[in-house]
């Protein structure tokens, strides 16, 4: 499918930049933009050219909004049409879906996201999804005297200077006292304007003793990987094998839903050996270029493993009791490893695991690949504990 990604604010811009760097030439990534009020945050992006970065809101003075969500909302309402026009050179009318990436606890991105979602829905028929980073509890707490904090309001995720470098102290967690309340209000607003919202729980992905500042680069990578795994799964390079069950934008739309529900993305991979060309003895007799057969038990085991890990492993957000109203399963990898019976068994297991009446599926052959992977989307899930806690901050 052709996806147009818009990174809003500091957090969203950094993830959009990461996607452009890793997948800029992939067919699924039809367009990428980064919009922010903060000149420094935009200037720090590496992969996106100046024509893909756009500062809006002169009233903000170019330094960000320091957590003021109401100011962000006003700017979003005033500049939504302007931001829509800033995308025109990438032919957004061809997009099959739009994805807004945003730090939910921020101000500029979180404030502008609902208005831009409404504007895109007004202009185009494609669904608008939101991928939003949930703030951690540490961000809202008063810092200890011995625990230095950053005053930055640049978003809940995104690579900062020195993040993950390992050659000095980890960057501090930003102190953003309004982050949870901003996130609660932004979740509600995005649910009204977007087809589905994919929250990313930063706290669940932090390792023991790891700070948010130190983890930013790694979390950006996880987010970009999940986005690419989902929206790029239906794309195969020209001239390669066509999937038996083709995944397209309508499948994602049916699985994610259209009423602003919360959805989760699970993803898992397992390295496999590419089948050798030639005879079953590996001698290449008679000039044969046919790949040797893969051991059936090995293929079945690999597929079962990645489906279960994508389902029960760490998702972008917690899925209470594993249940969901709708579920999408995509299994990919070298064609010889895509055992049809194993995939069918995986679908049946997933239906029992989630209680979903609607299980959609697709496959994604990767002829030169060296791993089997699975992507699982669950939508219409029960409210995760972390989302409930955030919503309670404004009740």
Q: What is the pLDDT of residues 237-274, one digit of tens each?
A: 555 555 566 788 999 999 999 999 999 999 999 999 87
User: Does 387 fall in a domain?
Assistant: no
- For residue 317, the enclosing domain spans 259-379
Strand partners, 373: 269, 332
User: Does 91 fall in a domain?
Assistant: yes
Estimate to the nearest angstrom the gap between the alpha carbon of 150 and the chain centroid: 26
In this structure, the answer to whether residues 91 and 209 fall within a common structural domain is: yes
Give me the percent of the chain exceeding a pLDDT of 70. 83
Residue 145: per-residue pLDDT: 54
Residue 50: per-residue pLDDT: 93
> Is residue 202 part of an annotated ligand binding site?
yes
Q: Name the domain boundary from 215, 232, 249.
A: 232
Give 293-319 pLDDT, tens digit per residue: 889 999 999 999 999 999 999 999 999
**Token couple for 392:** 């309670």
In this structure, the answer to whether residues 57 and 155 fall within a common structural domain is: yes
Give 143-190 pLDDT, tens digit per residue: 665 554 444 434 444 443 333 444 556 666 777 788 999 999 999 999
Strand 326-333 and strand 358-365: the pairing is parallel
- Mean of all residue pLDDT scores within the chain: 87
Q: Is the pLDDT of residue 387 over 50?
A: yes
Closest alpha carbon to 146 in 164, 123, 169, 126: 169
User: Does 384 fall in a domain?
Assistant: no
* Alpha-carbon span 59 to 125, nearest angstrom: 32
User: Does 94 fall in a domain?
Assistant: yes
Residue 188: per-residue pLDDT: 97
In this structure, the answer to whether residues 47 and 149 fall within a common structural domain is: yes
Where do we find the tokens 């995104």? Answer: 158
User: What are the residues whose beta carbons fall under 8 Å from the beta carbon of 375, sequence distance 6 or more?
Assistant: 229, 230, 233, 265, 266, 267, 310, 328, 329, 330, 332
In this structure, the answer to whether residues 223 and 334 fall within a common structural domain is: no
Q: Name the domain boundary from 196, 216, 232.
A: 232
In this structure, the answer to whether residues 142 and 263 fall within a common structural domain is: no
Count H helices and E strands in the chain, helices first. 12, 10
Residue 115: per-residue pLDDT: 98
Give me the percent of the chain exceeding a pLDDT of 90. 71
In this structure, the answer to whether residues 339 and 199 fall within a common structural domain is: no
Residue 355: per-residue pLDDT: 95
In this structure, the answer to whether residues 217 and 269 fall within a common structural domain is: no
In this structure, the answer to whether residues 264 and 137 fall within a common structural domain is: no
In this structure, the answer to whether residues 194 and 270 fall within a common structural domain is: no
**DSSP for 107-126, written as a single string:** SHHHHHHHHHHHHHHHH-SS
Q: Name the domain boundary from 197, 232, 267.
A: 232
Residue 390: per-residue pLDDT: 96
Length of the chain: 395
Residue 165: per-residue pLDDT: 41
Q: Is the pLDDT of residue 73 over 50?
A: yes
CATH number at residue 305: 3.30.1330.20
User: Does 277 fall in a domain?
Assistant: yes
Number of domains observed in the structure of the chain: 2
User: Does 389 fall in a domain?
Assistant: no
* Alpha-carbon span 116 to 128, nearest angstrom: 10
Diameter over CA atoms, the chain: 75
User: Does 354 fall in a domain?
Assistant: yes
CATH number at residue 107: 3.40.50.1440
Residue 276: per-residue pLDDT: 61
In this structure, the answer to whether residues 63 and 158 fall within a common structural domain is: yes
* Alpha-carbon span 75 to 65, nearest angstrom: 10
User: Does 238 fall in a domain?
Assistant: no
């Amino acid at each position: 499918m052709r996806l147009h990604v818009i990174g809003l604010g500091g957090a969203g811009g950094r993830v959009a930049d990461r996607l452009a760097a890793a997948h800029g030439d992939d067919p699924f990534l039809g367009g990428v933009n980064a919009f922010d009020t903060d000149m420094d945050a935009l200037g720090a992006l590496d992969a996106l050219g100046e024509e893909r970065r756009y500062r809006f809101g002169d009233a903000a003075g170019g330094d960000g909004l320091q957590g003021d969500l109401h100011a962000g909302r006003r700017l979003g309402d005033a500049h939504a049409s302007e931001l829509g026009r800033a995308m025109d050179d990438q032919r957004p009318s061809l997009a099959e879906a739009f994805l807004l990436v945003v730090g939910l606890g921020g101000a500029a991105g979180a404030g502008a996201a609902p208005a831009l979602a409404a504007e895109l829905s007004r202009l185009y028929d494609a669904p608008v999804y939101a991928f939003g980073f949930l703030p951690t509890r540490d961000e809202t707490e008063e810092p200890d005297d011995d625990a230095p904090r950053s005053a930055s309001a640049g978003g809940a995720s995104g690579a900062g200077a020195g993040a993950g470098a390992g050659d000095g102290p980890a960057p501090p967690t930003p102190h953003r006292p309004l982050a949870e309340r901003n996130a609660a209000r932004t979740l509600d607003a995005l649910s009204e304007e977007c087809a589905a919202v994919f929250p990313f729980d930063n706290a669940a992905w932090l390792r023991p003793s790891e700070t948010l500042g130190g983890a930013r680069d790694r979390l950006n990578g996880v987010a970009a990987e999940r986005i690419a795994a989902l929206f790029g799964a239906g794309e195969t390079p020209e001239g390669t094998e066509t999937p038996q069950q083709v995944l397209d934008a309508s499948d994602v739309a049916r699985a994610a839903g259209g009423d602003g529900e919360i959805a989760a993305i699970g993803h898992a991979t397992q390295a496999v050996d590419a089948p050798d060309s030639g005879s079953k003895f590996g001698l290449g007799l008679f000039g044969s270029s046919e790949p040797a057969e893969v051991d059936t038990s090995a293929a079945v085991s690999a597929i079962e493993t990645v489906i279960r890990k994508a389902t029960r492993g760490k998702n972008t957000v917690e899925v209470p009791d594993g249940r969901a109203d709708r579920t999408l399963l995509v299994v990919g990898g070298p064609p010889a490893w895509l055992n049809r019976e194993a995939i069918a068994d995986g679908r049946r297991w997933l239906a029992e695991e989630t209680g979903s009446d609607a299980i959609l599926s697709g496959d994604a052959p990767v002829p030169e690949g060296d791993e089997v992977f699975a992507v699982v989307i669950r939508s219409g899930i029960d409210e995760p504990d972390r989302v409930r806690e955030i919503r309670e901050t404004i009740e």
